Amino acid sequence: MDEHKIWSRGRQDTVTAAIARSAIQYRDRTFLDFSGELYTYGEIDRASTRLAHGLIALGVKKGDTVVSILDNNVEAVLSWFAINKAGAISVPVNTAYKGEFLRHQLNDCGAKIVIAEDDYARRVVDIEDGLDHATTLLQRRGSLAQASRLQVAELDSAFDESSEPLPDVNAPADLSMLIYTAGTTGPSKGCMISHNYVCNLGRQVVQMEDRRSEDCNWTALPLFHMNATGGSILSCMFVGARVAIFPRFSVSRFWPDIQRSGATVASLLGSMITFLAEAEDSEASRACFGQLHTVRGSPFPAQLQRKWKERFGVKTAGSNSYGLTEAARVVTGSQSDEAAPAGSSGRANEDFDVRIFDEEDNELPPNTPGEIVIRPRRPHIMFEGYWNRPADTIRIMRNMWLHSGDVGKFDENGYFYFVDRKKDYLRRRGENISSYEVETGLRAHPDIADVAVHAVFSESGEDDVKATIVLKDGAGVTEEEICLWAIERLPYFTIPRYFEFRPDLPRNPVGRVLKYELRAEGCTHTTWDREKNGMQVPKR
């Protein structure tokens, strides 16, 4: 039956039911393509079932959490599917996390089992004395990390010999995963993502892009983000299409892999769109003219949409949408909205009631910016709350509306425009960055008395990150030394580009730092720029 018709009736679903259907309907069809390493729907179903049996043998029960810290490889997909088949909750952790960032999420989710690449397994061992729940570390490849408390074993050993199907113990409202958001006023919080929520995200992509079985969706977005899991993997699963998953985005390797994989759809983010549009022509880019019919990404300004269509023969460029981890896509630009005004993300879709409120939760008229608030029109299509944080859940759900913390507006024709982020988090090259967590990390430096991490304008269209620092009396450290210190201790994507020393930070009468003043000032004549000083941050 046509997947579009199934979903049009508002059917609820589970990840495990979707896997089972696809294994029957598309068993011998190629599902996943990892740089030419191909797997059919049937192979992925059987392998994930074997791992699910193994996890159950290790004591995983319905409702348990299991952490994965994995690169873009087949084991990342198998782990997610296996964890869900065992009735458990998948917790994919950002692979750049280490130290306090990593310890917080492992302790907060309460997982006993951690699945990790060999490099990341050693990061887990480095913090094992500070872990409250973890007991078992399943390591993918490499020589096993040496631990004093954790039991370390090869991930391959956890695959059971049996691929006998397991009973599906999941309901649409059960949790499929925890996705951690970048904390802004405290440590990052785990968004509880139900099976139906992530399936609904896949459904939205199928409908918005008219996804077909002959399509191949190329993505280099990390598998710890819902864009890749729900937006690419599940949307393709629903219609029997292929997903080409690349290890890490690269301008020079993009077109060769598009050509190799036969991709028809590409999923990109932010600066990737600009970098590719501005790159020099190559033999591969010329050979692929017209091959991609859809390039999905946000933000995707009108001038870049035109450039992609003219230069690369893309029919649909944009798919601008607005959403957040708590509510996925609440405004979706679609093919029918190609004539939407420049800068608009389209109209609110049928899944959500989206409105604009003032500070007292009064609805604002058209063309008036205010906070974006959201309600679902169907069950289990947005988050179920924050993991173990009922007070935070109630706070964001004030007056029975999800308060996004972002600013937007609708025009008189119902077109939506994103205006700005109300929260103090930053976004850089597809990654949400918690200013709070970066500040916490930098304050561990012995010479730093206080610090504010904030955005400054970047000509690339995304924020650059700046750390404005107050040093302790008598400190003789340089900006370069602090930057090098941070590179060793913080996730690579959180490392500020700019550093500036000041005697104090601007504050209000009660002592709160006025970050809006720092953002407005941007870079000054005393700002140190690591890029201009030739300092590169390794992506590890």
Distances 419 to 214, 367, 371, 405, 456 between C-alpha atoms, Å: 37, 11, 10, 12, 16
Return the pLDDT at 509: 47
Q: Are 496 and 441 in contact (CB under 8 A)?
A: no
Q: For residue 139, what pLDDT is reported? A: 98
Number of other CB atoms surrounding residue 403 within 10 Å: 18
pLDDT more than 90, % of the chain: 70
Domains 42-195 and 426-529 share a fold: no
Q: Which fold has domain 426-529?
A: GMP Synthetase; Chain A, domain 3 (3.30.300)
Domain 42-195 belongs in CATH node 1.10.10.10 = no
Residues of the chain with pLDDT under 50: 1, 3-9, 184, 509-510
pLDDT of residue 184: 44
Rounded to whole angstroms, what are the CA distances from 303 to 209, 277, 418? 21, 10, 17
pLDDT of amino acid 424: 60
3-state SS class at 310: helix
pTM passes above 0.95 = no
38 forms beta bridges with 33
What digits encode the pLDDT tens for the residues 359-391? Answer: 999 999 999 988 999 999 999 999 999 999 999
Q: Residue 109 and residue 91: Cα distance in Å, rounded? A: 8
Helices (H), 262-404: 271-278, 283-287, 302-312, 390-396
Distance CA 242, CA 41 (A): 9
* Domain spans, the chain: 42-195, 346-423, 426-529
Give pLDDT, residue 530. Answer: 94
Can the peptide bond before residue 299 be classed as cis, meaning omega within 30 degrees of 0? yes
The CA distance from 503 to 536, in Å, is: 28
Residue 435: per-residue pLDDT: 77
d(CA 18, CA 29): 15
346-423 classified as CATH 2.30.38.10: yes
Q: How far is CA 174 from CA 19, 54, 62, 193, in A?
A: 16, 21, 10, 8
* Cα–Cα distance, 434 to 336 (Å, whole number): 36
Q: Residue 270, class by beta-carbon neighbours within 10 Å (0-12 exposed, 13-18 middle, 19+ buried)?
A: buried
